[in-house]
Amino acid sequence: MSDAQTTPGSRSVSLPDLTPLPGKQTGAEVTKLVGLMQRLLAPGGCPWDREQTLETLVPYLVEETYEVVDALAAGDADDHREELGDLLLQIAFQSELRFAEGKFGIDDVARGIVTKLVRRHPHVFGDVVAKDADAVLGNWAKLKAVEKAEKAARRKTETPGALDGIPKSAPALLRAARAGEKASAVGFDWADAKGPRAKVDEELRELDEAWARGDRDEMQRELGDALQALVSLARKLDLDAEQALRDSTDRFARRFRHIELALAAQGRAVSDAGADEQDRLWRDAKRREAKPEEAKPEEARPEEAKKVTGAR
């Protein structure tokens, strides 16, 4: 048995039986979160919650999203569960604020994503055959393009481009990667990784030329082009540029901390060490990473670290 579901401005979609599978959780507890949020926002509820607007909630939404990412990176399942709950709260919160405006509610949010996913998975819920993940992605891109065109026709606006929909507020590397993926999905891409690898060299040469001329505006543009080429290279090598830079920054932080602790144990600050000593300690940190069984540098006593770092 199936249900015909529609979302605002969309065509009807026949839904299959989506009753949760045996042995799986059902999502029943989510209704308690919705009820809790409604009570917090009701007269006599929480004064702070009742003062919030969609605009004031944006920083919390961003913060909670990054905290989910951090919990994933740390591999801590308890933290991951907790942070997902905080993110789910933001979804329930914003949905209730929109419901108060008469726009939509949490059920509309859930119904919309269910309808969209059924429509975009005809290889699961229809007769389309997809032999592998690449075929799924290709079909997904075609279906999404049709949806965009239909939405533009309904709104009597210009048909969106292939790159529309990428959040401009997304992290720059992630946004660049998504732009490359979407362009590739419609046939605009290098044949293999050699193309973007050559582009990296080209853009770095142009950056050097702009640097030599002292043209800072051009330097800024060429630096961006070089970074874009590196992101494209990562994509063609099936690497995650965002994760690669995150991991590199973590390594930098660990190695720098090694330098801080090694010098603090001597009652010195990083600025007290010359370039050669800093380089030696940096190489020592890299060696210790390669051989983690080696002893870590002695940490300074709290009072020494406080004196050296200027902490209050």
* 3-class secondary-structure state, position 15: strand
**Is residue 299 pLDDT above 90, yes or no?**
no
pLDDT at 265: 96
Say which range, 31-35, 42-46, 82-86, 242-246, has the weakest mean pLDDT: 242-246
Asked if residues 18 and 126 have their Cβ atoms less than 8 Å apart, the reply is no
Length in residues, the chain: 312
pLDDT at 153: 72
pLDDT at 293: 59
Q: What is the pTM of this model?
A: 0.60
Determine what percent of the chain is predicted with pLDDT higher than 70. 88
Residue 226: count of CB within 10 angstroms of its CB? 19
Can you tell me the mean pLDDT for 275-288? 95
Residue range 128-186, pLDDT digits in tens: 888 888 888 777 777 777 777 777 677 666 767 888 878 888 889 989 999 999 899 88
Distances (CA, A) of 136 to 132, 188, 221: 7, 18, 36
Locate 178 and state its tokens.
């998504």
Can you tell me the mean pLDDT for 29-40? 97
* 3-class secondary-structure state, position 214: coil
Asked if residues 237 and 256 have their Cβ atoms less than 8 Å apart, the reply is no
Residue 300: count of CB within 10 angstroms of its CB? 21
Mean of per-residue pLDDT scores for the chain? 87
Exposure class string for 103-128: b at 16+ Cβ within 10 A, else e: eebbeebebbebbbebbbbbeebeee
Residue range 81-112, pLDDT digits in tens: 999 999 999 999 999 999 999 999 999 999 99
- What residues have CB less than 8 Å from 233, skipping those under 6 apart? 193, 196, 197, 199, 200
- What is the rounded distance in angstroms from the CA atom of residue 17 to the CA atom of residue 165? 30
Residue range 226-267, pLDDT digits in tens: 999 999 999 999 999 988 998 999 999 999 999 999 999 999
pLDDT at 9: 47
Can you tell me the mean pLDDT for 13-28? 91
- What is the rounded distance in angstroms from the CA atom of residue 266 to the CA atom of residue 34? 56
